[in-house]
Amino acid sequence: MTIPEHVLGLESSCDDMAAAVVRRGLEIASSVVQDQIEVHEPYGGVVPELASRDHVRSVSAVAEAALSRAGVAPEALDGIAVTAGPGLVGSLLVGLSFGKALAFRLGIPVVGVHHVSGHLASAEVANPDLRPPYIGLVVSGGHTALYRVDGDGACACLGETRDDAVGEAFDKVAKLLGLPFPGGPSVQEAARAGDPEAVRFPRPMRDEPGLDFSYSGIKTAVALEVERRGRLSGRAVADIAASFQAAATDVLIARARRALREHGLSQLAVVGGVAANQRLREGMLGMVRRDGFRVVFPPLELCTDNAAMIAAAGARLLARGESHGLALNAFSRVPVGEAPWRDGERA
């Protein structure tokens, strides 16, 4: 089967409601993301119950906006791709139910997409000349993991965090420093005025064998430093933000380098919300230049959660003849490479 002409992607695994139309699996005809910053800001983090209720309010309008911006009528769609997991089940179910209902009405196939496969696909959408095999580093609020991506959708996890995700650490450090939600961009902003050498935070697992990560230690070290200093001046906030950002990103760079060397590969794709981080981008570029590797980052709007990546990954599944039908269900946890929804299994 050939790659479908128009796929509608839907992504609602956490606090963003997103819809996008992708042509032939690679060309983004539209991509709409509705965030919920105002909903969660007072709590300093995502409140699952509020997230799913807000998705219910926005899903139709966001999907309609994606179709109209693409100039594609619903009847012109060849398939629908929707994130089926991992994520917040209440949030996932909103996109999933909407996608299934629309597919049923239009008489077209619907496929469930793994959120991380979507992030990995974003690298190929942004860089069509990126061909497997390559190492994928997925860094977001829920994931910190290295994958080996081979042809035909084969993807093996090489290592992952044993505790917090790196984005989660950014978010928690922002809270400790009194910086606004969402934490990653505000830590990056505060760090601009700070000295990355001011505090020597630990670099957990950086030089250890294997390819796992650990971020709870850095977060605890920041909490102790904040407690030790008492009232924080603007300068202190900037220095702690810059020093934390340096420690967090140094570990990612060292582990990605180890993965490339251990697997004898030369290409690296860095994806997920934390891939938007400027220091990480600069550090990775420095590393690959020294070692003769190639690194690709999606543009910022494809790093954070979006539905274009889901539509792109889904287009490939549809091209292989996959169609998951109306039994498609949401799963809060599911390893990459597995698709329990394929068999209509229950969550």
Give the footprint of ligand KG4 on this chain (CB under 6 A).
Answer: 14, 140-142, 167, 170-171, 182-185, 188, 272-274, 276-277, 304-305
Minimum distance between the CB of residue 95 and Zn ion, rounded to whole angstroms? Answer: 13
Minimum distance between the CB of residue 46 and ligand KG4, rounded to whole angstroms? Answer: 9
By the rule CB under 5 A, 305 interacts with Zn ion? yes
Taken as a whole, the chain contains a residue count of 347
- Partner whose binding site includes residue 188, from Zn ion, ligand KG4, none (CB under 5 to 8 Å by kind): ligand KG4
- Comparing CA positions, the residue from 15, 269, 239, 257 lying closest to residue 118 is 269
Report yes or no: 148 and 202 within 8 Å, Cβ to Cβ.
Answer: no
Minimum distance between the CB of residue 332 and ligand KG4, rounded to whole angstroms? Answer: 13
CA distance 134 to 266: 7
Q: Which tokens go with 24? A: 């032939």
Identity of the residue, 190 or 199, whose beta carbon is nearer to ligand KG4 in the bound complex? 190
- Comparing CA positions, the residue from 110, 74, 76 lying closest to residue 95 is 110
Minimum distance between the CB of residue 114 and ligand KG4, rounded to whole angstroms? Answer: 12
Identity of the residue, 58 or 117, whose beta carbon is nearer to Zn ion in the bound complex? 117
> Among residues 36, 58, 122, 140, which is the contact residue for Zn ion, using CB under 5 A?
140
Identity of the residue, 153 or 273, whose beta carbon is nearer to Zn ion in the bound complex? 273
Binding-site size, Zn ion (CB under 5 A) = 2
| Binding-residue pattern over the window 29 to 68 for Zn ion, x denoting contact by CB under 5 A | ----------------------------------------
Burial 71-100 (b: 16+ CB within 10 A, else e): ebeeeebbbbbbbbbbbbbbbbbbbbbbbb
Identity of the residue, 6 or 115, whose beta carbon is nearer to Zn ion in the bound complex? 115
Residue 3 backbone phi and psi in degrees, to 5: -65, 130
- Partner whose binding site includes residue 185, from Zn ion, ligand KG4, none (CB under 5 to 8 Å by kind): ligand KG4
Cis bond upstream, residue 48 (ω within 30): no
CA distance 65 to 214: 40
- Partner whose binding site includes residue 36, from ligand KG4, Zn ion, none (CB under 5 to 8 Å by kind): none
- Partner whose binding site includes residue 171, from Zn ion, ligand KG4, none (CB under 5 to 8 Å by kind): ligand KG4
Q: Which stretch binds Zn ion (CB under 5 A): 121-129, 132-140, 186-194, 231-239?
A: 132-140
Q: Is the dihedral of CA 190, 195, 196, 199 positive or negative?
A: negative
CA distance 42 to 40: 6
Minimum distance between the CB of residue 140 and ligand KG4, rounded to whole angstroms? Answer: 3
Burial 44-66 (b: 16+ CB within 10 A, else e): bbbbeebbbebbbebbeebbeeb
Q: Which residues bind Zn ion (CB under 5 A)?
A: 140, 305
